[in-house]
Amino acid sequence: MNRRAVVAGSFYPEEVEELDKMIRSYTPADIPRVKAKGVIAPHAGYIYSGRTAARVFASVEVPDTAIIMSPNHTGMGEAASLWPSGHWEIPGGSIPVNSELSELLLSSSRVLKEDYNAHLYEHAVEVELPFLYYHNKKISFVPIVLYPLPYEYCVDIGKAIAESIKNLGKDVLIVASSDMTHYETAESAREKDSLALERIMALDPEGLYNVIRKYEITMCGYIPATIMLIAAIEVGATKATLVDYTNSGEVTGDFSSVVAYAGVIVE
């Protein structure tokens, strides 16, 4: 089953030339690239978070395979939904779902379920694809959309990802698609997000999971980020780096109610 681009023309440009120009303008030149295990990248409209996302993907070697996990914004589909095969269309490209890796993931996890419905109108996986494709036209990927889950379910999926990557025998970039605090003052957002980012920098997935819940931090992709950290540690990650932190007020000029964005590399 193939999926058309549903937020092209709203979250990012629909015209190929305009999209390429925008990503190129956001991408830093001559930035050192590292071989990362995973990243956290935002998923808002490109005018708000595109520079942060571009900095993340410009800072890593983008391999031929990725797993992209996002929160479920639509309320559709399974709690832990994996789209198993086919292609996802973006302006100027058709990106294959890596069915071999999909099968490994589904067989390794008791939580992940094959499901299309959660992905049909979800934007948070799709908006990462043009950045990955910009850096590697041979990219294939596995999309996973997630509801809030118990921590033990995060461990199940994280370990399944690590096991599947090892069995695949290829480099895989684990992408956690997430924005940070939503609709608070920029000062409040930074204070709360610093608590979450502290746990991410410490490579502490359970600490991240707990601090998000304790302080009611509205980081929408904390489940993907938690799972990414679990998986990255399992495949040998030893450090995390914050490459950017900003908020929508930098664009709108309104700092009284912002959405914040962070870019993180785990290697």
Instruction: Express each pLDDT in 71-124 by its tens digit.
Output: 999 999 999 999 999 999 999 999 999 999 999 999 999 999 999 999 999 999
Mean pLDDT of all residues in 245-264: 98
pLDDT at 212 over 90: yes
Residue 236 lies in a domain: yes
pLDDT score for 28: 93
CA distance 3 to 13: 18
pLDDT score for 202: 98
Residue 1 lies in a domain: no
Full residue range of the structural domain in which residue 234 is found: 16-266
**Is the CB of residue 128 less than 8 Å from the CB of residue 177?**
yes
Letter for the amino acid at 103?
E
pLDDT score for 82: 98
Tell me the backbone φ, ψ of residue 141, rounded to 5 degrees. -155, 170
Mean pLDDT of all residues in 228-238: 98
Residue 5 lies in a domain: no
**Alpha carbon 208 to chain centroid, angstroms:** 16
The SS3 assignment for 58 reads helix
Quickly state the pLDDT bin for 238 (edges 50, 70, 90). Answer: very high
pLDDT score for 30: 85
CA distance 141 to 8: 19
Residue 10 lies in a domain: no
Query: What CATH number is associated with residue 115?
Result: 3.40.830.10
pLDDT score for 189: 98
Residue 7 lies in a domain: no
Token pair listed for 28: 């830093």
Residue 9 lies in a domain: no
Quickly state the pLDDT bin for 29 (edges 50, 70, 90). Answer: confident
What pLDDT, in 10s, does the model give residues 126-177? Answer: 999 999 999 999 999 999 999 999 999 999 999 999 999 999 999 999 999 9
Mean pLDDT of all residues in 23-31: 93
Give the DSSP letter string of 141-204.
Answer: EEEEEE----HHHHHHHHHHHHHHHHHHTS--EEEEE----EEE-HHHHHHHHHHHHHHHHTT-
- What's the longest Cα–Cα distance across the chain? 48
Q: What does pLDDT average to over the chain? A: 98
Residue 231 lies in a domain: yes
pLDDT score for 236: 98
Quickly state the pLDDT bin for 229 (edges 50, 70, 90). Answer: very high
pLDDT at 222 over 90: yes
pLDDT at 63 over 90: yes
Helices and strands (H and E) in the chain: how many: 10, 11
Residue 39 lies in a domain: yes
pLDDT score for 22: 98
The number of folded domains in the chain is 1
CA distance 154 to 111: 9
Quickly state the pLDDT bin for 198 (edges 50, 70, 90). Answer: very high
